[in-house]
Chains A and B, each alone.
Chain A
């Protein structure tokens, strides 16, 4: 599904002393099957934008077009498009309500009016996709599961809708590093299996480059950057101006560059950065000392200590 955001404006509590404009003229386009990360400090309008993409809010100005249909309208055409957008809010485990895991995951497919057999098949598929064993968890009461398991059940409840567009608002908030890595790995696998559009709000800067091709940065309700992940996340000045962190490898490469090393700074992943440092290290030592550098240390910090 093609999503076009056209001059989108959203004001909360208009006409009152608490009026607050969360989005001021957003222009964006998401192509089918694209993987996009959305970054922005607290209060930058991320959540408001996501809700608009799912047609859950009425724009104060502008439009969100889902395949050419205005998302907020209450027409059958708009409803059909909106059904193709799956949205998981932050802490999605809060929305689990049924008496069994099966029934909770089946809630969405049932609302689509599917037959029982199809519902059951989708529930099993979705539970497997989130890494739960359908046979083991289907009959359990969701509230007896651990927090992490409940989150997976909640995400399965959205995947079971087979959305063309999957929107995740900080799906890894509150998870430990391993849980985070695992969940994001699964998200990538879902996307590769179903070719859905993936729109992901995440501050896991160390993981984002593996997941998305493109990054949009919001600040104060405006898009301040929109481009390939490599380009946006290596722009330290831009990220810092928006009050965001810079990926650690990028910060290191910037520091090296400042110290006179001819490194490229658009290496976002630790292993990429290590490779880049190794390359430049080799060049330098070849140029100055003719020393063999076949055993360049892989640690990120060691070359830095060699700076005179």
Chain B
């Protein structure tokens, strides 16, 4: 379709695409925590180099990857400002009560850089892993919790369906918005309140079709024997290959490397 959200899955056949989703999700989680757990310069460089390496392996266009950073622009600004003004240390500029310190400037830059790394890692995961694989991986990773009564499989199914219908939903909004625009709805009104009111003719039909679609989907699933809680078989089973194990080892090696850099040097 004509829709591309930042970080949306892009079908391709790269090294990263072929990895097992469980390995990818575990690795992503580790790589997202690492920059915060290992604040040193050397370990940050190591992690950055590794993220750059997997970005190359992902075959994702660098421009598309960088574009995902736009989503955290305001959060980044806020975090930078927060660090800038609240870190005590050697003063650089003072505006009355507000003091900007050298340490604050440095901490702000580092903080924002870590945040960017986190978003890049998350984007790499979502670029190379289809929603179905994500849900499947999550279900597999959370499987132990099913034993203590958490409805893991149901949650995974809910997640799969939700992710599956995101593009459908957006396409629907676009179609209805255009249809109402063709009837003279002022969807680009300047004043926020009026603009919100003018979108009512779009959102009412969207809700109606969403409920109808949910109903139809439930019927269709039941008609094909979906029984919720029971264990389901799968068309595509997850199997760890040698490549997956290798990838997991490499990521663990990077983590061990940062630990060494932090504690032994």
Which chain A residues have a beta carbon within 8 Å of chain B's beta carbons?
12-13, 15-18, 20, 51, 54, 56, 83, 85-89, 92, 94-98, 107-108, 111-112, 143, 157-158, 161
A96 lies within 8 A of B175 (CB):
no
B209 lies within 8 A of A94 (CB):
yes
Give chain B interface residues in 85-108, CB to chain A under 8 Å: none
Who on chain A is nearest to B64 by CB?
A16
B184 lies within 8 A of A16 (CB):
no
B110 in the interface (beta carbon within 8 A): no
B208 in the interface (beta carbon within 8 A): yes
B148 in the interface (beta carbon within 8 A): no
CA distance A97 to B197 in the complex (A): 13
B209 lies within 8 A of A54 (CB):
no
Q: List residues of chain A with CB within 8 A of the CB of B63.
A: 15
Of listed B176, B178, B186, residue having the most chain A CB within 10 A: B178
A95 lies within 8 A of B205 (CB):
yes
Q: List residues of chain B with CB within 8 A of the CB of A86.
A: 182
Q: List residues of chain A with CB within 8 A of the CB of B175.
A: 89, 94
Q: List residues of chain B with CB within 8 A of the CB of A56.
A: 178, 181-182
CA distance A146 to B185 in the complex (A): 26
> Which residue of the partner chain, among B4, B180, B183, contacts A18 with CB atoms under 8 Å?
B4
> Which residue of the partner chain, among A89, A95, A111, A161, contacts B186 with CB atoms under 8 Å?
A111
CA distance A86 to B182 in the complex (A): 6
CA distance A88 to B182 in the complex (A): 9
CA distance A127 to B71 in the complex (A): 46
Q: List residues of chain A with CB within 8 A of the CB of B61.
A: 16-17
B12 lies within 8 A of A17 (CB):
yes
A94 with B10, Cβ < 8 A, contacts A56-B178, A86-B182 known: no
B179 lies within 8 A of A18 (CB):
no
CA distance A88 to B1 in the complex (A): 20
B204 in the interface (beta carbon within 8 A): yes
A89 with B178, Cβ < 8 A, contacts A13-B3, A15-B63, A17-B64 known: yes
Give a binary string over B117-155; 1 marks a CB under 8 Å from any A CB, 0 the rest.
000000000000000000000000000000000000000
Who on chain A is nearest to B204 by CB?
A97
B241 in the interface (beta carbon within 8 A): no
B54, chain A: closest CB distance, angstroms: 18
11 A-B residue pairs with CB within 8 Å:
A13-B4, A15-B63, A16-B64, A56-B182, A86-B182, A89-B178, A97-B204, A98-B201, A108-B183, A108-B184, A161-B184
Q: List residues of chain A with CB within 8 A of the CB of B202.
A: 97
CA distance A56 to B182 in the complex (A): 8
B179 lies within 8 A of A95 (CB):
yes
B201 lies within 8 A of A107 (CB):
yes
CA distance A54 to B179 in the complex (A): 10
Who on chain B is nearest to A85 by CB?
B182
Q: List residues of chain B with CB within 8 A of the CB of A112.
A: 184
B2 in the interface (beta carbon within 8 A): yes
CA distance A86 to B61 in the complex (A): 40
B155, chain A: closest CB distance, angstroms: 29
B37 in the interface (beta carbon within 8 A): no
A165, chain B: closest CB distance, angstroms: 11
B208 lies within 8 A of A143 (CB):
yes
CA distance A200 to B189 in the complex (A): 31
> Which residue of the partner chain, among A20, A83, A89, contacts B184 with CB atoms under 8 Å?
A83
B200 in the interface (beta carbon within 8 A): yes
> Which residue of the partner chain, among A87, A92, A97, A158, contacts B200 with CB atoms under 8 Å?
A97
A51 with B12, Cβ < 8 A, contacts A96-B205, A111-B184, A111-B186 known: no
CA distance A17 to B181 in the complex (A): 29
Q: List residues of chain B with CB within 8 A of the CB of A108.
A: 183-184
A13 lies within 8 A of B2 (CB):
yes
Of listed A95, A143, A161, residue having the most chain B CB within 10 A: A95
Q: List residues of chain B with CB within 8 A of the CB of A89.
A: 175, 178-179
Of listed B10, B181, B200, residue having the most chain A CB within 10 A: B181
CA distance A86 to B181 in the complex (A): 10
CA distance A94 to B175 in the complex (A): 9
Who on chain B is nearest to A87 by CB?
B182
CA distance A112 to B12 in the complex (A): 48
A156, chain B: closest CB distance, angstroms: 11
A18 lies within 8 A of B10 (CB):
yes
A73, chain B: closest CB distance, angstroms: 13
A95 lies within 8 A of B64 (CB):
no
B10 lies within 8 A of A54 (CB):
no
CA distance A12 to B171 in the complex (A): 13
CA distance A92 to B204 in the complex (A): 14
A94 with B176, Cβ < 8 A, contacts A111-B184, A143-B208 known: yes
Q: List residues of chain A with CB within 8 A of the CB of B186.
A: 111
A54 lies within 8 A of B176 (CB):
no
A16 lies within 8 A of B183 (CB):
no
